[in-house]
Amino acid sequence: MLPKKTRYAIKALMVLYPTFESKRPMRISDIAENEHIPKKFLEAILLDMRKIGIVNSKMGAQGGYYLSKHPNEIFLSQVIRFTGGPIALVPCVSLNFYEKCEECADETTCGFRDVMREVRDASLHILSNTSLADLIKRERNLENKKKSD
Amino acid sequence: MLPKKTRYAIKALMVLYPTFESKRPMRISDIAENEHIPKKFLEAILLDMRKIGIVNSKMGAQGGYYLSKHPNEIFLSQVIRFTGGPIALVPCVSLNFYEKCEECADETTCGFRDVMREVRDASLHILSNTSLADLIKRERNLENKKKSD
DNA sequence: ATAATTTCTATTATATTAGTAGACTATAAT
DNA sequence: ATTATAGTCTACTAATATAATAGAAATTAT
């Protein structure tokens, strides 16, 4: 399960989507209110997103947050890794958070690990090829489909 | 990440593999010691595995645990779900642990949910088609490959 | 009858996640 | 310049979930 932090982060980025073109910053408090995210928590999350160059901020009156990276190049894998940790189900197959298996005598011949690697590859394939722009596209598609029913 | 409980469970089942044919029970304390699993924790885990009919136990002297279901029909998905919870990354796409999304206005048009559904399907496809017997086969294969190097 | 082994109920410890508080800093508008 | 606005930073607290432990009770082989 992804932690709330990750889900809030993605939700917030989706809300910030229009700011990439408009360049008009959005206030944390507005996003927090509209999306039902605790404001202080969201502050911390956006600060993290800024650290990895996905968003930028402007202090003071008329300030706020805006996307600083093209929505085509903001990938779910990056957001998840930075806010929620590993995509893999076990540390011994994690690419970014690898830890040696405690109980395994020999990792290289562990059958379970082998399967876990497959699962990781399958998930990662999707997550590292889905961008923020894709999320928005999907949403539009689903909305249109719904209307036409 | 899968909790230790799940990893211990799978490890234990792999160790119990030969008991399906031999029908000779293995002691909890032996498994615990060999696999570096806290004994009391493993007791609880095996009790759970018994509840879902994967293993059976015999009390008293010469007692212990043995597989009661064919290794071809013990699937990772079942073990994970019973010991570690959802396979999905968000509750709103979980088949067995569904929860309504708190922040989403309309789940059916949520772009993120749509991707999460894809990830779940990809993971589930692997996990519900991989059996305990497959794990053992893989392990044998990896061991043989290694030897021939 | 005894020793071996699982079962059951309760409790404790540890780690992780989620959320809060408040002082500090930068900016725009006047 | 002053003021109101809005993000930044450091520290703390609360809630929840995971991991591990303790010990008495029940069952079975010898």
Residue finishing a domain among B67, B90, B118: B67
Q: Does residue A135 lie within any of the structural domains?
A: no
Backbone φ and ψ for B147, nearest 5 degrees, come out as -60, -40
When CB atoms are compared, the residue of B36, B86, B138 closest to A102 is B36
| Domain match, B30 and B59 both | yes
| Domain match, A52 and A99 both | no
Identify the pLDDT of residue B149: 79
Q: Does residue B62 lie within any of the structural domains?
A: yes
Identify the pLDDT of residue A85: 85
Indicate the range of A6-10, A128-132, B84-88, B140-144 predicted with least confidence. Answer: B84-88
Give the total number of structural domains in chain B: 2
Helix axes A28-35, A39-51, angle to 10 degrees: 120
Identify the pLDDT of residue A84: 86
Q: Comparing C-alpha atoms, which of B51, B53, B45, B43 is closest to residue B10?
A: B45
* Average pLDDT of the residues in B94-98: 95
B116 or A103: which leads in pLDDT: B116
Nearest CA in chain B to A36: B103
Indicate the range of A3-7, B7-11, B84-88, B123-127 predicted with least confidence. Answer: B84-88
DSSP tag of A61: T
| Domain match, B29 and B49 both | yes
Give residue A50's domain range: 4-67
Question: CATH code at A49?
Answer: 1.10.10.10
Identify the pLDDT of residue A148: 87
Taking the stretch 89-128 of protein chain A, residues with Cβ within 7 Å of any atom in nucleic acid chain C are none
Judged by CB atoms closer than 8 Å, whether chains meet at B126 and A119 is answered as yes
Taking the stretch 17-76 of protein chain B, residues with Cβ within 7 Å of any atom in nucleic acid chain C are 25-29, 40, 43-44, 46-47, 50, 57-65
Taking the stretch 113-142 of protein chain B, residues with Cβ within 7 Å of any atom in nucleic acid chain D are none
Q: Does residue B20 lie within any of the structural domains?
A: yes
Q: Tell me: the pLDDT tens digits for B38-56? A: 999 999 999 999 999 999 9
Residue finishing a domain among B67, B101, B119: B67
Q: Does residue A139 lie within any of the structural domains?
A: no
Identify the pLDDT of residue B146: 83
Q: Does residue A145 lie within any of the structural domains?
A: no
Confidence of residue A144 (pLDDT cuts 50, 70, 90): very high
Q: Does residue A75 lie within any of the structural domains?
A: no
Distance, CA of A139 to CA of B90 (rounded, Å): 17
Using the CB atom, is residue A105 less than 7 Å from strand D? no
| Domain match, B63 and B81 both | no
Identify the pLDDT of residue A112: 97
| Domain match, A11 and A61 both | yes
| Domain match, A51 and A100 both | no
The torsion angle over the Cα atoms of residues A44, A40, B94 and B97, rounded to 10 degrees, is: 130
| Domain match, B9 and B58 both | yes
ipTM: 0.93
For residue B72 the two structure tokens come to 């071809």
| Domain match, B37 and B87 both | no
> How many Cβ atoms sit within 10 Å of the Cβ of residue A7?
25
| Domain match, B51 and B32 both | yes
Average pLDDT, chain B: 96
Q: Tell me: the pLDDT tens digits for A75-112? A: 999 999 999 889 999 999 999 999 998 878 889 999 99
Residue finishing a domain among B12, B32, B67: B67
| Domain match, B93 and B114 both | yes
Judged by CB atoms closer than 8 Å, whether chains meet at B126 and A126 is answered as no
Q: Does residue A15 lie within any of the structural domains?
A: yes
| Domain match, A54 and A107 both | no
Residue by residue, DSSP assigns B48-110 as HHHHTTSEEEE-STT-EEEE-S-GGG-BHHHHHHHHH--SSSSGGG-SSS----SS-S-GGG-
- pLDDT at position B147 over 90: no
Judged by CB atoms closer than 8 Å, whether chains meet at A134 and B115 is answered as yes
CA distances from B115 to A5, A124, B110, B111 (A): 18, 12, 9, 7
Q: Does residue B146 lie within any of the structural domains?
A: no
| Domain match, B79 and B44 both | no
* Average pLDDT of the residues in A8-27: 97
Residues 6+ apart with CB under 8 A from B75: B127, B128, B129, B130, B131
DSSP tag of A74: -
Identify the pLDDT of residue B148: 87
